[in-house]
Amino acid sequence: MRLERSTIKQSRKKEEREREREREREREREEGGRTGARELSSMGERDDGDCNGNVGDGNDDGHTSLTRSGRARQLWHKVKNKYNLVEYHALPAYLRDNEYILRHYRADWPLKQTLYSIFTIHNETLNIWTHLAGFVLFLIITIYTFLHLPRVAELSHLYIPNVPDFHKLQSELISSLPSLPSLPHWHLPEAISNCLPGAVTIVNRTERCLLVGLRSMKEDAANLVAPFLPRPTTRWPFFIFLGGAMFCLLSSSTCHLLYCHSKRMAYIMLRVDYAGIASLIAASFYPPVYYSFMCSPLLRNLYLTAITTMGIATVLVSLFPVFETPQFRHVRAALFSGMGISGIAPILHKLILHGDEPAVLETTGYEVAMGVFYGLGALVYATRIPERWKPGKFDIAGHSHQLFHVLVVAGAYTHYQAGLVYLKWRDSKGCS
């Protein structure tokens, strides 16, 4: 009997707490409506006075500033009341992640209203737009890179093998190409054949004819040399990285926009977000690993298999519901950071094999900068700095997740610059 009574008392207390929370929410809505009505009324009185021809005195500037601030408050309360922004204590459990952000939350909004919220002010606005802008940036970069990245290596960086009758072609070609006119209607093979006396030729005369042709026909000269040039380095690892970056940024922006719709939507969107983070980290390995060990297929495939397996494992672990809880914030940060730290091994290995190459040292510098950006991002994400120092101060702008987003975009762009250096190095050197 005592146990039953205590159980009944506990259930009654729980019901009372729920009723009290509901009453607090109603009071907040009513208070916001009354405040907006009072400000609207006062604004109307001021406007009526102006329309009736009342002439102000020396305090016109003060009235103007009050009017502007009143209009700003009126607009904010209108937005707040229309979209039902709530405080942290009124959130359902699945949306409670950062207790240091106190206000301006969206909770259980209809899908249409949730989509429209991309253009309104709340504590996720900058989280959405920082990575959406990053996605647009990388989309433009990808298109530009695809259209303008050379499909063959620059002639000035290539080594032409010592082929008979062409041993002087390299230096003469490099010195003459920049100043040659474009004569597409001329053909170098025909010009050379006209210089030949017959089936038997003299090497020196042939070379003189070649040099005359080279000085007048740039395109035909390049076509003549093309069979002796090495093939351009494959580009797919570089575009794998760009694709991973765009997927990460777009999935993150979409998650922050939609996850307030419902508990099920939050579960789906958070998994997509975690998959995007793992994809970016794994894809970031592809350019440095592939191009550093391009001439060592065993090492290249070993490293790529390892990081791909780690990425898939991370996505699978993130499917567990407990992974998204605030208590596992440090676990999430440690898991993703561990994937990134594992990149130290191939970087050190690269320096051992190619430490005398200037391009290798340059790419390592970019990779260190990228690691600093990602590391700082993980640090502020896990520690929730700066909002933990002043709760409520950074609700709209400046909180840790926004800083984390900016640092991720900076790190990805740094890695893009490193990828360009890798391509230039392998295009010019190959496996020689």
What CA–CA distance (Å, rounded) separates 181 from 421?
Answer: 31
Beta bridge partners of 43: none
3-state SS assignment for residue 105: strand
CATH number, domain 125-151+233-429: 1.20.1070.10
Q: Do 86 and 107 meet the contact criterion of CB atoms below 8 Å apart?
A: yes
pTM of the model: 0.66
> pLDDT tens per residue, the chain (432 residues)?
555 555 566 666 667 777 777 677 666 665 555 544 444 444 444 444 444 444 444 445 555 555 666 666 666 565 555 668 999 999 999 999 999 999 999 999 999 999 999 999 999 999 999 999 999 999 999 999 999 876 544 444 444 444 444 445 555 555 555 544 444 444 444 544 454 444 434 444 445 554 455 444 445 555 555 555 556 689 999 999 999 999 999 999 999 999 999 999 999 999 999 999 999 999 999 999 999 999 999 999 999 999 999 989 888 888 888 777 777 777 887 888 888 888 899 999 999 999 999 999 999 999 999 999 999 998 999 899 999 999 999 999 999 999 999 999 999 999 999 999 999 999 888 886
What CA–CA distance (Å, rounded) separates 301 from 352?
Answer: 18
Q: Please give the pLDDT value at position 73.
A: 66
Q: Please give the pLDDT value at position 330.
A: 79
What CA–CA distance (Å, rounded) separates 100 from 387?
Answer: 6
Q: Please give the pLDDT value at position 338.
A: 83
CA distances in angstroms from 66 to 39, 45, 62, 348, 393, listed in the order given: 11, 13, 6, 63, 24
What CA–CA distance (Å, rounded) separates 125 from 402?
Answer: 10
Ranges of each domain in the chain: 2-83, 125-151+233-429, 160-228
Residues 6+ positions from 235 with CB-CB distance below 8 Å: 149, 423
Residue 86 DSSP class: B
What CA–CA distance (Å, rounded) separates 331 from 327?
Answer: 8
What CA–CA distance (Å, rounded) separates 138 from 276?
Answer: 15
What CA–CA distance (Å, rounded) separates 106 from 108?
Answer: 7
Q: Please give the pLDDT value at position 5.
A: 58
Q: Please give the pLDDT value at position 76.
A: 56
Q: What angle do CA 419, 424, 425 make, to 5 degrees?
A: 95
